[in-house]
Amino acid sequence: MARDWKSALKAYPIGWLLEEENPPVRYFALKDLMDEQTGDPELSAAKAAIGRYDKVQRIFTKQKPDGFWESPEQPYLPKYRSTYWQIMILSQLGLDKSDERVSRACDFISRFQLEEGGFTIYNEDTANEEYKLKEKQALKTGKKPPDYEKFVSDTIHESELTCLTGNVAAALIRLGYDDERIDRALNWLVEVQNSDGGWLCPYWKAHLRDVHGCFMGTITPLDAFSVLPREKRNSDVEEAIQRGAEFLLMHKLFRADHHDFRIINGSWLKLGFPCFFYDVLRGLDVVTRLGFGKDERIGDAMNLILEKQGSDGRWILESTPSGRMQVDLEKKGQPSKWVTLTALRVIKRVHEARES
């Protein structure tokens, strides 16, 4: 008889995750760990409570009437406090487009998506404002201002990022959108995939000579593909998934394949929330959601996650931009319901894949 997936744990902290003081975690624990189905009264009540969660309410108190946070000219900066980041956070907290506050925010960022599909830090209007500043500085120092058209074009294209586009597309899908913005974003990500299966930020001058994919540039497109309904994945997307997942798996999610599999970046071993960047748990979450739970190359990463579990069954929040977001969701260095939830989702998913 197959072992229960919880047998691999030091303890199973489900009671802690189901506490009503954190409705988003309670909702996802009911749905993903206890397999409660849509329509279940307890699940529906938890979902309805997310919009009233005090952390969510504090984020929305800082939202402007037009749907943005901080500045209408800059959806990316200040980092963690502006509009892109709030949309990412709200999508991970279980909100959806039925909340009018969410839909206003998502309508706002549409102006920062380029025709080919990538989301940018600057559009033509905001790049024009940047040019005016450069022009003013140049004239003040007696220098010649940069060429206007080249400056604006370069500013926009250098800020059209694969990591940003993947994160925004993943957020929109989680929020329940299924529209041409997502189609354009995912098509663009497929088109700019690197030859090694990973992704780079292709318009950054700093990366012109790079040939090796970037883990941060890779995890976010794969995250978007992983939450895209299977019926929406065309053959190009499926191929991109296979190549992108292979890029991560050949590195065992955190090891250098050409350098005796040494750890590439020690910060990737620190587990965090919200999921903005790359860490080994996010890598595991994405590749197992994409169906690679049986791949033996995730073994080192799985062992690392299991070793990090405390005797009480909980995982610690090791990385988060404390004091830099609109609201801190949890305390760094303390047991984290969000990290624990994600780790348990991964362990359950891997067990089910290997028992199927």
Average pLDDT over residues 48-74: 97
pLDDT tens digits for 189-232? Answer: 999 999 999 998 766 776 667 778 999 999 999 999 999 999 99
Share of the chain above pLDDT 90, in %: 89
Q: Which pLDDT value is given to residue 1?
A: 38
Q: For 77, what's the count of Cα atoms within 13 Å in the CB-facing half-sphere?
A: 7
Mean pLDDT, to the nearest integer, of 259-284?
95
Q: What pLDDT score was predicted for residue 207? A: 66
Please tell me the predicted confidence (pLDDT) of residue 110. Answer: 97
**Domain map (residue ranges) of the chain:** 5-265
Residue 260: per-residue pLDDT: 80
The percentage of residues in the chain with a pLDDT greater than 70, rounded to a whole number, is 98
Report, as an integer, the average pLDDT of 225-247.
Answer: 97
Q: Is the pLDDT of residue 128 over 80?
A: yes
Is the model's pLDDT at 280 over the cut of 60? Answer: yes
Reported for 289-294, long-range contacts at CB under 8 A and 24+ positions apart, including other chains, are 289/226, 289/227, 289/349, 290/222, 290/225, 290/226, 290/241, 290/245, 291/353, 292/245, 292/249, 293/349, 293/350, 293/352, 293/353, 293/354, 294/353, 294/354
Distance between CA atoms of residues 332 and 310, nearest Å:
15
Higher-scoring residue by pLDDT: 129, 284: 284
Task: pLDDT band for 356, please (50, 70, 90 cuts).
Answer: confident
Residues 137-154: what's their mean pLDDT?
91
- Asked if residue 54 has pLDDT above 50, the reply is yes
pLDDT reading at 47 higher than 80: yes
Residue 307 has a pLDDT of: 98
Q: What is the mean pLDDT of residues 242-249?
A: 98
Cβ(339)–Cβ(281) below 8 Å: yes
Q: What pLDDT, on the 0 to 100 scale, is given for residue 203?
A: 64
